[in-house]
């Protein structure tokens, strides 16, 4: 029997759970990168400006740039210079890819493997007062104010997770999905999506990371693969109705 979850009752991801999710998703990402070979690295991805090699450079940057306060400060300084009048994330991703373009794929994988656990440790130990620091970030053309804790506990892991999806789609590698890991990440996306649109709905997400969700009575009824649901909300595919509500990844 399928259990339907009231979206309003999906628990927020705690700092401890966020650390566990980050550790596991980093591990899966490193294992995926290590499995790539030959022509895999040159294949186009759903991030249309990047092939697999460039996307991997961004992933490595996301790991290395959050391993210490010095690394974060350096990343912010260079990202602001590169971004100019554009969003900070545009400059950050450009710098991450450019600075790692000279690495061999073996070097890239080795550095990712070394940085992955260090990144998780750093994210977990950032003190609470700093986690409240505000960050400006455009979402769907609207500037939002995030807290640093949201970036550290949620967005960095979502970014890695979605790029695992990108890489497996590009290379044909299997996407490792489990209910106790990916299902938790997807449920958190569902909860944020519902908070953002605040309309009644019934959502049936299929696959290992899926589940049945409801918010209120009546409203739109959606049945979709869980990974495709996240791809749509991230802007990698298009959706109508409530699926047009963007969620940051």
For residues 97 and 192, membership in a common domain is answered with: no
Among 120, 151, 171, the domain-final residue is 171
Q: Rounded to 5 degrees, what angle do the CA atoms 142, 144, 148 make?
A: 150
Per-residue pLDDT, 87: 87
Shared domain for 143 and 47, answered yes or no, is yes
Q: What is the DSSP string of 176-197?
A: ---TTTHHHHHHHHHHHHHHHH
Same domain, 85 and 25: yes
Identify whether 249 is part of a domain.
no
**Is the same domain home to 109 and 230?**
no
Contacting residues for 121 by C-beta, under 8 A, at least 6 apart? none
- In the structure, what pLDDT confidence band is assigned to residue 12 with cuts at 50, 70 and 90? very high
Strand spans (E) along the chain: 4-6, 134-139, 142-147, 201-206, 211-215, 220-225
pLDDT at res. 59: 98
Domain with 44 in it: what CATH number? 1.20.120.450
Which tokens belong to 133?
Answer: 């620091």
Does residue 1 surpass a pLDDT of 70? no
For residue 18, being part of any structural domain is answered with yes
Adjacent-strand bridge partners of 51: 44
Which pairing describes strands 220-225 and 201-206: parallel, antiparallel, or unpaired?
Answer: parallel
239 in a domain, yes or no?
yes
Does residue 32 belong to any structural domain of this protein? yes
Query: How many percent of the chain have pLDDT more than 70?
Result: 100
> Are residues 77 and 147 both part of a single domain?
yes
Q: Are residues 149 and 50 in the same domain?
A: yes
Q: Is the pLDDT of residue 138 over 70?
A: yes
The confidence score (pLDDT) of residue 141 equals 85
Residues 214 and 152 in one domain: no
Whole-model pTM: value is: 0.95
- Residue 84: inside a domain: yes
Residues 158 and 187 in one domain: no
Task: Report which secondary-structure segment, H or E, holds 73.
Answer: helix 69-83
* Confidence at residue 2, expressed as pLDDT on a 0 to 100 scale: 73
Q: Are residues 61 and 27 located together in one domain of the fold?
A: yes
**What average pLDDT does this structure show over 214-240?**
97
Cα separations (Å) of 73 from 66, 69, 92, 123, 249? Answer: 9, 6, 12, 14, 22
The pLDDT of residue 126 is 96
- Tell me the pLDDT tens digit for each residue of 163-215: 999 999 999 999 999 999 999 999 999 999 999 999 999 999 999 999 999 99
Determine the Cα–Cα distance for residues 246 and 230; give it in Å rounded to an integer: 10
Dig out the tokens for 212 from the structure. 């049945």
- Count the domains in the chain: 2
Mean of the per-residue pLDDT values of the chain? 96
User: For residue 216, is pLDDT > 90?
Assistant: yes
- Residues 166 and 196 reside in one and the same domain: no
Based on the fold, state whether residues 120 and 184 are members of the same structural domain.
no
Judge whether 235 lies within some domain. Answer: yes
pLDDT of residue 140: 84
Sorting pLDDT into bands at 50, 70 and 90, what band is 136? confident
Domain-ending residue, one of 139, 171, 203: 171
Kindly state whether residue 162 falls inside one of the protein's structural domains. yes
Asked whether residue 199 falls in the same domain as residue 99, the answer is no
- The model's pLDDT over 55-108, given as tens digits with 9 standing for 90+, comes to 999 999 999 999 999 999 999 999 999 999 888 889 999 999 999 999 999 999
The parent domain of residue 72 ranges over: 14-171
């Amino acid at each position: 029997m399928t259990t339907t979850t009231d979206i309003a009752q999906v628990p927020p991801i705690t700092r401890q759970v966020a650390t566990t999710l980050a550790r596991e998703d980093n591990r899966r990402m490193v294992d995926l990168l290590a499995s790539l070979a030959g022509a895999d690295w040159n294949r186009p991805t759903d991030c249309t400006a990047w092939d697999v090699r460039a996307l991997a450079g961004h992933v490595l940057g996301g790991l290395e740039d959050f391993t210490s306060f010095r690394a974060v400060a350096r990343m912010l300084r260079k990202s602001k210079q590169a971004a100019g009048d554009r969003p900070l994330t545009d400059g950050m991703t450009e710098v991450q890819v450019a600075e790692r373009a000279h690495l061999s794929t073996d070097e890239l994988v080795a550095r990712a493997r070394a940085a992955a656990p260090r990144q998780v440790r750093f994210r977990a130990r950032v003190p609470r007062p700093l986690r409240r620091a505000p960050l400006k970030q455009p979402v769907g053309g609207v500037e939002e104010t995030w807290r640093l804790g949201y970036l550290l506990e949620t967005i960095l892991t979502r970014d890695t997770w979605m790029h695992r999806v990108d890489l497996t789609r590009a290379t044909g590698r299997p996407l490792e999905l489990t209910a106790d890991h990916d299902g938790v990440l997807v449920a958190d996306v569902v909860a944020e999506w519902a908070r953002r649109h605040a309309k009644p709905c019934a959502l049936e997400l299929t696959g290992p990371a899926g589940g049945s969700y409801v918010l209120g009575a009546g409203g739109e009824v959606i049945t979709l693969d869980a990974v495709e649901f996240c791809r749509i909300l991230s802007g990698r595919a298009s959706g109508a109705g409530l699926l047009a509500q963007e969620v940051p990844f």
